[in-house]
Amino acid sequence: MALGDSYPIFGDWFYIHFVENNGMAFGWKFGGDTGKLILSLFRIAAISAIGYYLFTLIKQKKNSILIISISFIFAGAIGNIIDSLFYGIIFEASGSFHIAKAFPADGGYSGLFYGKVVDMLYFPLIEGYYPEWFPFVGGDYFAFFRPVFNIADSSITTGVALLIIFQKQLFSVIEKEIPEENSELEKEELDEPVTQIVD
């Protein structure tokens, strides 16, 4: 697909729409090339920390919902970092009316760490125009849901949503574990012989 190409999948409410994201969620970015490098390095550090945490949860046989949630977040983060690490090396620059070639002879559009994240899922469920009397945006076009995202973003969102939905269950498990540990300590203290110093 050329940059900006769009194909309807289900009527007017779901499209495959090719865009590239040079920064974070919703296209936010900072600091030019330096900011991009910092963002890529931060993502690698975050993935390493999440991966270690997930390994620890599995090893300790923690709550399966917690493990599944963190796995979704971990998988999504890896998906996005693959784009930003390697796509700049693999593909030439995309453009309107121009389909990018893989492994061009002159090299990709950027170096390692500077690739763009590809987004393609677009759900304009509700479209229209704000009423003229509406403050600041009266008469402007609106669409819900406007951001274009990818499967990796969906994975991260699913993981976070599971953590929010099941937070009571997850926190109650943690609260139950703490009193049990405390009661064992108290039992050990009671079993110890009591010595009294008499003058």
Model pTM above 0.85: no
Do residues 172 and 178 make contact, with C-beta atoms less than 8 angstroms apart?
no
**Is 119 designated active site?**
yes
pLDDT in tens, 100-126: 999 999 899 998 888 889 999 999 998
Of the residues 33, 106, 119, 140, which is catalytic? 119
Of the residues 12, 153, 191, 199, which is catalytic? 153
- Mean pLDDT of all residues in 88-109: 90
160 vs 38: CA distance, rounded Å? 24
The reply to whether omega before 145 is within 30° of 0 (cis) is yes
Percent of the residues in the chain that have a pLDDT greater than 70, as a whole number: 81
Q: Where are the domains of the chain?
A: 6-121+148-191
- Mean pLDDT of all residues in 34-63: 91
167 vs 69: CA distance, rounded Å? 11
